[in-house]
Amino acid sequence: MLDMKFVRENPDVVKQNLRNKFQEEKLPLVDEVIELDAKSRAAKKEADDLRAARNKLSKQIGALMGQGKKEEAEAVKKQVTADAERLAALEKDEAELTERVTEIMMRIPNIIDPSVPIGRDDSENVEVKRYGEPVVPDFEVPYHTDIMERFHGIDLDAAGKVAGNGFYYLMGDIARLHSAVLAYARDFMIDRGFTYCVPPFMIRSNVVTGVMSFAEMDAMMYKIEGEDLYLIGTSEHSMIGKFIDTIIPEEELPKTLTSYSPCFRKEKGAHGIEERGVYRIHQFEKQEMIVVCKPEESPMWFDKLWQNTVDLFRSLDIPVRTLECCSGDLADLKVKSIDVEAWSPRQQKYFEVGSCSNLSDAQARRLKIRVNGKEGRYFAHTLNNTVVAPPRMLIAFLENNLNEDGSVRIPTPLRPYMGGAEMIRP
């Protein structure tokens, strides 16, 4: 959420940002919110003036009564009563105007970084760099569920009966590999100085609206019926929520955390949920990283975060590339994002396995995450990034480490988590 003062003073910048994000339908909101804010501030000033006048009149009534001037005191009392009625009306107006201003402000997107390429959707994202040499083996690489089924490692039919499409059972070596990747990712991030955390898997609505836009919330979140609770779509939600309504001493920054959680997503509006696949599903597990830092340090942390993901995938012999997300592909709270994509030998193309985002002070402003600095208080900056998200990451792992005989090589860093195995065989 933007600072209202910034919107008042820079309406043309805010409008151009909407055009850059191809959200022209929101342009009238800028003028509307500026007008409503002016009315709200006027109502507040009049209310403050009436409160000050009431205090003076109350003292005047006491003085008049003490002087025996009862009739004059009664006249002043009538004025106090009239002012009280006007004050009540103003307070109601102010509350309604403030609520409407906040509602609109939460729909106006964050100002994107000047380095972000302008584009309408993810088809216009820009490749930044490739890491590792993409390899296409001489043999045919089967579809990922076919690889898993050769190990008796997945049961989609049973999951469909139990929960419906978009769910799965992982079994045996594949299930162990899934857990091994998460454990390795956990220790990888701990070795890089991040504090490990297991957060709540449900959050309240005020946290949901604090960490994401209404559009994202509608497309992603599952609500618990009858309670003010939502299942998290990523642990970033509860990890950033951990700092809600706090004032952090500046010397305690940055806060660098890595978290494990299951994730639950409706995938509303998503296409291509493959009945026999686990690429886009309703439930998965993920290792995440988040940073809460000083504003001037967020660009540096942004580069560190996506590099962590690149380094982890390369340590498991998976070629990856980074993509700069264009303006139209950025969620409303984000100022800049880099996607990490892994190489698929079967498809002979890259596919997304992680996303790194800098949200500047958008989440902090909504959640009131403040920093107590030497020169006063200010809003922190927040960032997040995927470490790994199996089972999608498993697709990249299995395809890139598959041998012609159907066995799967276990890279050296992962072997301690697989009981020392160098290979798993169907």
- What is the pLDDT at residue 253? 98
Amino acid at 211: V
User: Average model confidence (pLDDT) for the chain?
Assistant: 92
Task: Determine the topology of domain 122-424 in CATH.
Answer: BirA Bifunctional Protein; domain 2 (3.30.930)
**Chain-centre distance for alpha carbon 421:** 37
Q: Per-residue pLDDT for 108 more than 80?
A: yes
By percentage, how much of the chain surpasses pLDDT 90? 80
Strand spans (E) along 125-271: 126-131, 154-155, 169-170, 195-197, 202-203, 222-223, 230-231, 246-249, 255-264
Q: What is the pLDDT of residues 152-162, one digit of tens each?
A: 999 999 999 99
Which tens digit of pLDDT belongs to each residue from 129-186? 999 999 999 999 999 999 999 999 999 999 999 998 889 999 999 999 999 999 999 9
Per-residue pLDDT reduced to its tens digit, 60-76? 666 666 666 666 766 76
391-402 pLDDT, tens digit per residue, is 889 999 999 999
Nearest to 36 by CA among 84, 82, 97: 97
Q: Which CATH class is domain 4-105?
A: mainly alpha
pLDDT for res 142? 95
Model confidence band, residue 275 (pLDDT cutoffs 50, 70, 90): very low
Beta bridge partners of 270: none
Q: How do residues 293-313 score in pLDDT, each as one tens digit?
A: 999 999 999 999 999 999 999
Contacts of 174 (CB under 8 A, 6+ apart): 148, 151, 153, 154, 394
Using alpha carbons only, what angle is made at residue 103 by residues 101 and 107, rounded to the nearest 5 degrees?
Answer: 110
List, in sequence order, every beta strand (DSSP E) within 243-375: 246-249, 255-264, 283-293, 320-324, 336-344, 349-358, 369-373
Confidence of residue 412 (pLDDT cuts 50, 70, 90): very high
Give the span between the Cα atoms of 21 and 15, in whole angstroms.
Answer: 10
Q: For residue 59, name the pLDDT band (cuts at 50, 70, 90).
A: low
With a threshold of 0.75, does the pTM exceed it? yes
Question: What is the per-residue pLDDT for 70?
Answer: 67
Q: What values do phi and psi take at 379, rounded to 5?
A: -80, 140
Q: What is the pLDDT of residues 210-219, one digit of tens each?
A: 998 877 888 8
**Residue 346: partners with Cβ closer than 8 Å, 6 or more residues away:** 141, 142, 143, 144, 399
In the chain, count of helices (H) and strands (E)? Answer: 13, 18
Residue 199's Cβ-count burial label (10 Å; 0-12, 13-18, 19+) is: buried
- 4-53 confidence digits (pLDDT tens): 999 999 999 999 999 999 999 999 999 999 999 999 999 888 888 877 77
Domain ranges of the chain: 4-105, 122-424
The count of other CB atoms within 10 Å of the CB of residue 4 is: 17
